[in-house]
């Protein structure tokens, strides 16, 4: 049996930010907490968001989202929410700000430590309809968290965990590609590879969800075709629009579940929060695709061959190598060792990966030895 559920209200396209107040009115948002980060504030995007809100909307701003959101930041933002007597949250930024906003949406309306709501702690059923409403405004094209049902957060104990619930899907996503045009090339490339990894992993997952498969393949086609253009020329509006669409599509599809790329990158991100999630995914993809290519569901449905067709790669056997070459051409690191990851970290990384919520939705069950092999191949 499969549960197939799509998804939320999305305003998509250039100048869609102008619809923010209208969407706030539809949700009866009057006193929002804006969750963002210092970078978004610095480049003027926060000011552009505030300009769209009417004087009757009373705003509290929390702009201290860390690159990898953690439990301490959730507590600080919840305090700001309560001090502002807020009734909702507007997330403005990349996946970090949107995920932090989801953590605040729980923390401001539920009792208990954040870890009690983690999926691996059995927390899905503890998240209720009391969750504060979120409006998500992405400024990167990568995580797709604006349409996703989960948040990835680092707990006080160092674990990087998924907090998942249908109640966490933002009530509205405002996807304006104009807001991504100030992204520097390397961040464009890294977040774009994150979107590509979402499309590939969710498509390879063995779960039955044909609509998600179709969305993932079309998202991959758009991302693979446009990531180079968006990185080379940040002002390319068509490329920016297609990358934002690919990001959104990857997240619409990954309700199927992800796989070993994400279980490893989540674990690594918990060990060293300075590591960029999208960059890690780009590095890990070739080894994980090689591991998954012989799994029963992948072989039966010719999934590797279909990936190659969508990506315009002549031979299915060349997907991993092509991804690696493309990653390097985009200017991203070629291997984990260049990020300071060494073999002595493998036991900690693998322990986290085996406990991650993405581990069980990989099309082929990975053992400790399998994970260590994938890490070695990615060094």
* Helices and strands, counts by H and E, the chain: 15, 8
Contact 104, 74 (CB under 8 A): yes
User: CA-to-CA distance for 188 and 42, rounded, in angstroms?
Assistant: 18
**Residue 2 has what pLDDT?**
54
CATH class given for the domain over 9-179? alpha beta
Burial track 215-239 (b if 16+ CB lie within 10 A, e otherwise): bbbbbbbbbbbbbbbbbeebebeeb
CA 123/CA 268 separation, integer angstroms? 22
Predicted pLDDT of residue 273: 87
* β partners of residue 150: 164
How far is residue 376 CA from its own chain's centroid?
25
The domain locations on the chain are 9-179, 184-378
C-alpha span between 357 and 118 (Å, rounded): 9
CATH of domain 184-378: 1.20.1090.10
Q: Chain centroid to CA 74: how far?
A: 18
User: Each residue of 3-38: b (16+ CB within 10 Å) or e?
Assistant: eeeebbebbebbebbebbeebbeebebeebbbbbbe
The CA distances from residue 312 to 85, 293, 316, 322, in Å, are: 52, 18, 10, 10
pLDDT of res. 222: 98
Residues ≥6 apart with Cβ < 8 Å to 210: none
Axis crossing angle, helix 368-378 with helix 277-292, rounded to the nearest 10: 120
* Whole-number pLDDT of residue 322: 97
Question: pTM here?
Answer: 0.93
Listed in sequence order, the residues at least 6 apart from 344 whose beta carbon sits closer than 8 Å to its beta carbon are none
Alpha-carbon distance of 24 to 172, in angstroms, equals 9
The tens-digit pLDDT sequence of the chain (379 residues) is 555 556 789 999 999 999 999 999 999 999 999 999 999 999 999 999 999 999 999 999 999 999 889 999 999 999 999 999 999 999 999 999 999 999 999 999 999 999 999 988 999 999 999 999 999 999 999 999 999 989 999 999 988 898 999 999 999 999 999 999 999 999 999 999 999 999 999 999 999 999 999 999 999 999 999 999 999 998 999 999 999 999 999 999 988 899 999 999 999 998 998 999 999 999 999 999 999 999 999 999 999 999 999 999 999 999 999 999 999 999 999 899 999 999 999 999 999 999 998 999 999 999 999 999 999 999 9
pLDDT for 3: 53
Q: Is 9 helix (H, G, I), strand (E, B) or coil?
A: strand
């Amino acid at each position: 049996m499969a549960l197939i559920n799509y998804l939320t209200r999305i305003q998509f396209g250039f100048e869609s930010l102008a619809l923010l107040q209208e969407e706030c009115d539809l949700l009866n948002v009057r006193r929002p907490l804006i969750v963002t980060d210092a970078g978004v504030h610095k480049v003027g995007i926060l000011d552009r968001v505030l300009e769209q809100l009417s004087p009757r909307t009373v705003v509290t701003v929390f702009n201290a989202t860390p690159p990898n959101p953690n439990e301490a930041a959730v507590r600080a933002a919840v305090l700001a929410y309560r001090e502002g007597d807020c009734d909702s949250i507007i997330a403005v930024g990349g996946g970090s700000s949107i995920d932090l906003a989801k953590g605040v949406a729980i923390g401001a309306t539920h009792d208990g430590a954040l870890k009690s709501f983690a999926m691996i702690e059995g927390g899905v059923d503890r998240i209720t309809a009391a969750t504060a409403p979120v409006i998500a405004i992405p400024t990167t094209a990568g995580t797709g968290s604006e349409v996703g049902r989960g948040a990835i957060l680092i707990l006080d104990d160092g674990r990087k965990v998924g907090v998942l619930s249908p109640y966490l899907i933002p009530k509205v996503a405002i996807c304006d590609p104009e807001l991504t045009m100030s992204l520097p090339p390397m961040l464009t490339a890294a977040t774009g590879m994150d979107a590509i990894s979402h499309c590939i992993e969710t498509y390879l997952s063995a779960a039955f969800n044909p609509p998600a498969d179709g969305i993932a393949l079309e998202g991959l086609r758009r991302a693979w075709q446009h990531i180079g253009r968006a990185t080379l020329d940040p002002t390319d509006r068509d490329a920016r629009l297609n990358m934002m669409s690919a990001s959104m599509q990857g997240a619409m599809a990954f309700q199927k579940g992800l796989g070993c790329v994400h279980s490893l990158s989540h674990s690594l991100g918990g060990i060293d929060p300075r590591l960029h999630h999208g960059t890690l995914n780009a590095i890990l993809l070739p080894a994980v695709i090689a591991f998954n290519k012989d799994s029963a569901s992948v072989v039966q449905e010719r999934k590797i061959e279909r990936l190659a067709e969508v990506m315009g790669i002549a031979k299915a056997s060349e997907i991993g190598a092509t991804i690696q070459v493309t990653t390097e051409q985009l200017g991203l690191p070629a291997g984990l060792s260049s990020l300071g990851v060494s073999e002595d970290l493998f036991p900690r990384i693998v322990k986290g990966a085996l406990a991650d919520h993405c581990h069980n939705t990989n099309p082929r069950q990975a053992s400790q030895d399998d994970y260590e092999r994938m890490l070695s191949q990615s060094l």
